């Protein structure tokens, strides 16, 4: 299988490196790594239009291909699929492993999910995978979970018209309660904007926020809170079909 790895934490991020190491260990797959050269979290589906996109090629073992890009995660996938920098079109895109959760309505901001969404839009099976904690840093259980899906040719990977958003609880695999297929929850934050001044006197703000958990049981937020791996199918069509049925009568 030809597998494209990308992320929004940057080419040298530990999560992406662990995912690469897990997949490359048995020499069964042709692996391409195309990722931002630095941190590009929370850029959503932004793309670069008004400046050049520079790339740097990195040597990887076993003739795998590594490219860092001074653009966004979506730029990386577009360039990988449509920019002729790879020898072949990948069969699967894995975005991650992200450092921190991508749950609920946060997926609209996420560069990790955006990269997988671009893959889905281009007709390639895509997964976004996140380790749902900023302090826990053992990415290998998450990587082995994805590797097992690939090695067993899981039916989950036959999802062609959208993507899978997978969040993994921050603990050893033996401590997971199991896996749940979930819907997106609603990420509600108690946001604060701290007002500061730079050393040169210019005013700026620093945004912080605390996530307020919801009570609904079938969401990705609840699954992670209770120690389950959350698997959420997403698609690219944002149309509100319920309203679509009735809006024609309002025109």
The pLDDT score that the predictor gives to residue 135 is 93
In angstroms, the Cα distances linking 185 to 110, 147, 188, 218, 230 are: 15, 26, 9, 8, 11
Q: Is 91 left (phi over 0), alpha (psi -120 to 50) or beta?
A: alpha
Backbone angles phi, psi at 72, to 5 degrees: -90, 170
Amino acid 213: pLDDT: 66
**Which tokens is 211 given?**
């996530």
- pLDDT, tens only, 167-221: 999 999 999 999 999 999 987 777 789 999 999 999 999 888 777 766 688 999 9
Interatomic CA distance for residues 46 and 82, integer angstroms: 17
In Å, what is the CA distance from 251 to each residue of 241, 244, 247? 16, 12, 7
What residues in the chain have per-residue pLDDT under 70?
213-215
């Amino acid at each position: 299988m030809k597998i494209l790895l990308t992320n929004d934490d940057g080419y040298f991020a530990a999560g992406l490196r662990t995912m690469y190491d897990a997949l490359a260990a048995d020499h069964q797959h042709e692996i391409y790594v195309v990722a931002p050269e630095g941190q590009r979290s929370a850029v959503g589906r932004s793309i670069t239009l008004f400046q050049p996109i520079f790339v740097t090629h990195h040597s990887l073992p076993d003739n795998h291909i590594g490219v860092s890009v001074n653009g966004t995660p979506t730029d990386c996938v577009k360039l990988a699929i449509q920019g002729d920098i790879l020898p072949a079109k990948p069969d699967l895109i894995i975005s991650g492993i992200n450092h921190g959760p991508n749950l609920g309505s946060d997926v609209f901001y996420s560069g990790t999910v955006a990269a997988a969404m671009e893959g889905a839009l281009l007709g390639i099976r895509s997964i976004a995978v996140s380790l749902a904690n900023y302090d826990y840093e053992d990415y290998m259980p998450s990587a082995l979970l994805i590797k097992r899906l690939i090695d067993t040719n899981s039916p989950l990977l036959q999802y062609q018209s959208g993507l899978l958003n997978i969040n993994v609880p921050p603990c050893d695999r033996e401590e997971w309660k199991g896996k749940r297929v979930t819907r997106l929850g609603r990420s509600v934050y108690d946001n604060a904007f701290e007002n500061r001044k730079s050393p040169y006197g210019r005013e700026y703000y620093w945004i912080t926020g605390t996530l307020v958990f919801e009570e609904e049981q079938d969401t990705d937020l609840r699954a992670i809170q209770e120690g389950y791996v959350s698997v959420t199918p997403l698609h690219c069509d944002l149309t509100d079909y319920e309203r679509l049925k009735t809006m024609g009568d309002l025109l």
